[in-house]
Amino acid sequence: MKLTQKNKNMNRGAAVLSVFFALLFLIIFIRFFYIQSTGTVHGEALVAKVEELYKSQRTIEAERGSILDRKGNVIAEDKSSYKLVAILDDKITTDPDKPQHVVDVSDTTQKLAPLINMEISEVEKLLSKDLYQVEFGVAGRDISHSLKEEITKLDLPGIIFSRDTQRFYPNGIFASHLIGYAQKQENDGEAVGMMGLEKTLDKYLHEEDGFVKYQKDGYNWKLPNSKDEITAPENGNDVYLTIDQKIQTFLEDAMNQVVDEYTPEKIIGVVADPKTGKILAMSQRPSFDPNVRDINSYYNDVVSSRYEPGSTMKIFTLASAIEEGVYNGNATFQSGSYSVDGPDIYDHNKVGWGPITFNEGVQRSSNVGFSIIADKLLGTDRFYQYLNSFGFLKPTGIDLPDEVNSKFNFTFHRDKVSTSFGQASAVTPIQQIQAATAIANGGKMMKPFVIEKIVNTDTNETVKETKPTIVGEPISDKTSKEVLDLLETVVTGEKGTGKLFKIDGYQVAGKTGTAQMYSDSGEVLRGHDNYIFSFLGMAPKEDPELIVYVAVQRPKLEGQAGAMPVSKIFNTVMKNSLQYLQIDPTDTVTGNDSNELNQGIKLPSFKDQNIKEVTANIEKLGLKPVILGEGPSINSQYPDANTSMIIDEKVMLKTSDSVKMPDMKGWSRRDVMKLGYLLNLTIKTEGSGFVVKQSIKKGSIVKQGDLLTISLDSQKPTVEKSKKAEDKDQ
C-alpha cells in the first residue's frame, strides 16, 4: 500500500517535471523562433550586436579645402600638428617598471602646465579625474613639432600625442578681414569657418572624414579574412581667389610703414583690375593674424564701412557732366563761395582763387566749381540719375559677406548740391572701386569679385567659376578718355592737389579726397588731423591696368599734408605692382629713375645648380641670396621660378635637408614669411616693422613644423658689421 502510494507520488512528480521542462523548451523554442524571425534581442538588432562585438572602424581623415591666390600660392591650409592626451587609467599598465599612465599628478602638472600655457590648478584638476584619458582643450591642440619634442624629453608617463591638423595661415596678417579664419570646435574638434570667406564658403571648404570597417577577434586583432568596407573621405574644395599674393604683400608692407610713422586710427586699401573687376589686393588697419586671432573688429571695412567720400566723388560728377554734354572746361566761374538754401558752400581755402576755369577748378578741387556743375549745368535730378548709373544707390553684390549700401541725403537742396563734392552722402570703398572701373575701362562698369574659382580637390573639376560681368555703361569711351586726361592734370598740373601722387615713368590719373568726420553728437570735428584723407587713382592713364584706392583716417600729421601718408601707400603699391605686372613705363625717365623702373626681374629656376654660380648670378640680378643648408647645389628655392622680383629682394635657396637658422635681424616681415614657407615653419609675429628678435637662435638646426616667433620694430636695426665683429660672432 505504501509502495503503491510512493510510486504514485513519483509519477506525479515526474509528470510535473515533464510539464515544466516541456514549457521551458517551448519558451526557448518560441524565443529562438522570435529571434530568428525578427533578428532582434531585447529590442536591439542581433546583426548590429554581432558587428559591434566583431567589427571595428578606423577613421580616414579628410582635409579642409585650401584658400589660394590667383596663382596657386597658399593663403590658408590644413597643416599637420599634434594633440596632447593624458592616460589616467592605471589598468593599462602591465609592466610596473614602464608605467603607461600618469603616475605623479603633481610632478606632471608642474612640468607640463607652463609649456602649454595653462594654469597649474586647471591641469591638476584634469589629471585628477576618474577617467580613462583626458585632453587639454584648445591648449592641447595644434602642438608644433618642436613643442612636442620638448614635452617628450620630460619623459612624463601617460603623456602621449595623437596626430592632428590645424588651420594655418602662412602669411600671417594678409587680407585677414577678407579671408577670416576657421576654428576647431570644442565638442568634436571639427574646423568651422567663423569669419570672412572661411565662414561664407564653409560649405565648399568643409570636409567629410571617411572610414574603414573591418572584422576583428576578441583581442582586437584584425582577422586575416576580414572583408573591409571602405568609405572614402571627401576633402574640402580648394578656393582660388583673385587676390595676387605679391600685390597684396606690397599693400600690407606699405600700410605697416604708414602705421609705424603716422599711427592713424584706420587705413583702407584696395587694388583692382578695371578690365575685369578682379580684386587683386584688399586690406585694412587695424588688422589681425588669423593664427593668433587678435581681433579688434570683425567687419571688412571695404564692404561694411560707409563714410563721406570727400572729393573723390568729384570724379563721377565730372564724368556725368561731360557725358551729358554740359561741361566746358574753358568756361570760368567765381571761386570762393556759392549761395544755396541754407549755409553757403565754400572752397577749402574759404576765399577761392578769383575767377578760374572749370578745368582749373578740377585741378584745385574747387567745391564751388562742382556745386555749379551739379546745380546749374547738370541739374540735381539728372545728377541723381547718374549716381544710380554709376552704381552708388545699391550694393555692388560683391561675393563677400556683410556688404552695406550707401546713404544719400537728397531731401534738401543744399544736400543735393553737396553730394557733388562728396558731402551729405556716405558710400563704401567698394562702390567707389566699381564706379571707377567705368572711368578706367572705356565706360564699361565691371562688377567687383574676389572668388576666381572653386575646385573639387578629389576630381579636379571646377565646381564654381566667376566670369567678369559688365553691370552698366554710365558713360561712353570718349567721355572716359576725357575724364582720365583731366584727372591726370590733378597729379601733373602746376595747380593740382595730387602732386604727391606723381610716379616717375607712369602717367597717373586720379583725385584726392578729404572727408569730414563727425563727433558722436553729430558735430563736425575740427583740427588738421581730423579727416579721412584718400586718393582714387588709375594707371597708366592711356590704358589703365590698375585702380588703387587708399583712405587714411586721422593720421598724426604733425604739420604735414594729409595726402602724405596716403601717397606713401598709393605710390609704393601702384609703382611696384605695375613693375611686377611688367607694364612698361609710359614716360621717358632718365638717370637713376630709369634704372629703378627697370628692376622688374623674372626669377629663373636654380634647381640642381651649383651654389657658387647661383649666388653670383642672383647678385648680378640685383637680388640678395640667402643660403639655407650646407649642400653644394640648390634643391629648392622661394620665390619659385618665373616670379617677378623687385631689386634688393631676398631669394631663399635651400641646399640640404639640415638647415641652420640664419640671423634675421633687420629682415622685413615678408622675408621672414618666405623663409617660413620654404622651411615649413609656423610663424608668429609681434609688432610691425623689421626683425629685432627671433625665438630660434642663429645657428640652431631648424625642423619642419617649428614655431618661430619674431619681434618687429619700426626702427630698422643696423646689421652691417665689420669683418672682425663677424669673426667674433662666429
Instruction: Tell me the CA end-to-end span of the chain in Å, nearest whole number.
Output: 121
Within a 10 A sphere around the Cβ of 684, how many other Cβ atoms?
Answer: 15
Instruction: Report the relative pairing of strands 181-184 and 159-168 from DSSP bridges.
Output: unpaired
Sign of CA dihedral 135, 136, 138, 139: negative
Q: What gap in Å lies between CA 501 and CA 537, rounded to an integer?
A: 9
What is the distance of C-alpha 527 from the center of its chain?
A: 35
DSSP states of 309-355 as a string? -GGGGHHHHHHHHHHHT---TT-EEE-SEE--SSSPEE-TTSS--SE
What DSSP string runs through 138-159?
GGGSSB-HHHHHHHHHT--TTE
Residue 447 cell numbers, joined: 562688377
258 close to 568: Cβ distance less than 8 angstroms: yes
The β-bridge partners of 425 are: 408
Rounded CA separation 653/633 (Å) = 9
Phi-psi group of 375: left, alpha or beta (phi > 0 → left; psi -120 to 50 → alpha; rest → beta): alpha
Which SS3 state, helix, strand or coil, does residue 638 take?
A: strand
Which of 588, 728, 677 has the alpha carbon at shortest distance from 249?
677
Residue 311 falls in the annotated catalytic set: yes
Catalytic, out of 144, 146, 176, 311: 311
Grid coordinates of 600: 622688374
Per-residue three-class SS string for 59-93: EECCCCCCEECCCCCEEEEEEEEEEEEEECCHHHC
Residue with cell 586721422: 554
Whether the CB-CB separation of 507 and 546 falls below 8 Å is answered with no
Give the whole-angstrom CA distance, residue 375 versus residue 338: 11
Beta bridge pairs of residue 638: 652
Contacts of 426 (CB under 8 A, 6+ apart): 306, 307, 308, 309, 406, 407, 408
What are 249's three cell numbers?
Answer: 604683400
Q: Catalytic site residues? A: 311
